[in-house]
Amino acid sequence: ENLGPTITVGEILVEIMATTIGKGFLDAQPLIGPFPSGAPAIFIDQVAKLGAQAGIIAAVGNDDFGRLNVERLRDDGADVSAIAVSPDFPTGSAFVRYANDGTRDFVYNIARSAAGEIKLTDAAKSLITRAGHLHVMGSALSIPAVWPIINFALQDIKKRGGTLSVDPNMRKELAAGEETGRQFATLLKATDLLLPSGDELFVACPASSESEAIGKLLASGISEIVMKRGQKGSALVTKTGSISRPAFIVDEVDPTGAGDCFGATYLTCRRLGHSAEQALDYANAAGARNVTYRGPMEGTSTFRELDQFIAATPRK
């Protein structure tokens, strides 16, 4: 087992959100932000807050949106040495508005922002060489420059006995063409831990039922599949059985980032040697606690905060 840092590659963004509920951005409206964001960044911030070594290969602009993110990640203990500052492009952004039915509309600026300029720099190579685990966020595959870096990191980390986790993290606004499908297939062959939510399981494996998809994925060599089920909690499925754990009961203020905090916490607990049941409970707590904060990275948690949250919060 390779105990080196957990790393990821992908978008660092600011999130700016509508303060009213409704569909999209076709009218002038009140907004709040910038908040540090980007699924890979939220994930790695959560790993770092748990006291584990964590680093991200990314790029931001030479602007306040970039500085805001780098300072937050550094303050929370993440390795920011492989975050490049692009002299030419501004930091990426995501505008989000929530609708009445719980769906979200996004306006993304990722592929043509600094995030689109992620490169395999010397600092990135150095981080990869030290790493023991790679986490891939599906959203990062919308940046064409990311795939060669992930592929390089994957080969290097696996060669040294490291592990891979994948969160499909699909968004309807992000392009997912045939190329992404092939990349995804390559990743699934090497994945140790898969973290889908909702229908993302069928993106990973087209099938007519959940159990058929899970069966095929386990047969293909994935050892742990952890299903994120929002207010229904989560479940781990392995070849030897399954464990479901209930969600915590909270007032949801902002759902974005729950899946990232959940995945980071589950993975980190497992890497630290916690039981699957304990890891699911901590991860459910991290996801639930995150949705009580406005801003996708505002509710990342330390173990101390998770222990306090678990002691004080009823479960379904």
Binding-site ranges for Mg ion (CB under 5 A): 169, 197, 259
- When the beta carbons of 82 and 115 are compared against Mg ion, the nearer one is 115
Distance CA(213)–CA(210), nearest Å, equals 5
Contact in structure between 39 and 46 (CB atoms under 8 Å): no
Distance CA(102)–CA(255), nearest Å, equals 9
- When the beta carbons of 54 and 124 are compared against ligand ATP, the nearer one is 54
Torsion angle of C-alpha atoms 209, 193, 196, 71, degrees rounded to 10: 180
- When the beta carbons of 142 and 169 are compared against Mg ion, the nearer one is 169
- When the beta carbons of 64 and 252 are compared against ligand ATP, the nearer one is 252
Q: Decide which of ligand ATP, Mg ion, none touches 230; Cβ closer than 5 to 8 Å per partner kind.
A: ligand ATP
Cβ-closest residue to Mg ion?
Answer: 259
Q: Decide which of Mg ion, ligand ATP, none touches 139; Cβ closer than 5 to 8 Å per partner kind.
A: none
At 196, is the secondary structure helix, strand, or coil?
A: coil
As measured in angstroms, the least distance from the Cβ of 194 to Mg ion is 12
Q: Decide which of ligand ATP, Mg ion, none touches 12; Cβ closer than 5 to 8 Å per partner kind.
A: none
As measured in angstroms, the least distance from the Cβ of 248 to Mg ion is 18
As measured in angstroms, the least distance from the Cβ of 116 to ligand ATP is 21
Give the closest residue to 236 by CA, choosing from 207, 279, 206, 268: 279
In 218-277 the beta strands, taken as DSSP E runs, fall at: 224-228, 234-238, 241-245
Q: What is the DSSP letter of 89?
A: S
Give the closest residue to 38 by CA, choosing from 131, 132, 140, 130: 140
Q: Decide which of Mg ion, ligand ATP, none touches 70; Cβ closer than 5 to 8 Å per partner kind.
A: none
As measured in angstroms, the least distance from the Cβ of 200 to Mg ion is 7
Q: Decide which of ligand ATP, Mg ion, none touches 134; Cβ closer than 5 to 8 Å per partner kind.
A: none
Amino acid at 34: P
Task: Return the structure tokens found at 200.
Answer: 């993302």
Whole-Å CA distances, 105 to 52, 93, 229: 33, 14, 20
As measured in angstroms, the least distance from the Cβ of 64 to Mg ion is 27
- When the beta carbons of 198 and 215 are compared against ligand ATP, the nearer one is 198
Phi, psi (deg, nearest 5) at residue 300: -70, 155
Residues in the chain: 316
Contact in structure between 257 and 45 (CB atoms under 8 Å): no
- When the beta carbons of 50 and 258 are compared against ligand ATP, the nearer one is 258
- When the beta carbons of 260 and 281 are compared against Mg ion, the nearer one is 260
Residues that bind ligand ATP (CB under 6 A): 169, 197, 228-231, 233-234, 247-248, 250, 252, 255-260, 262, 284, 287-288, 291
As measured in angstroms, the least distance from the Cβ of 290 to ligand ATP is 7
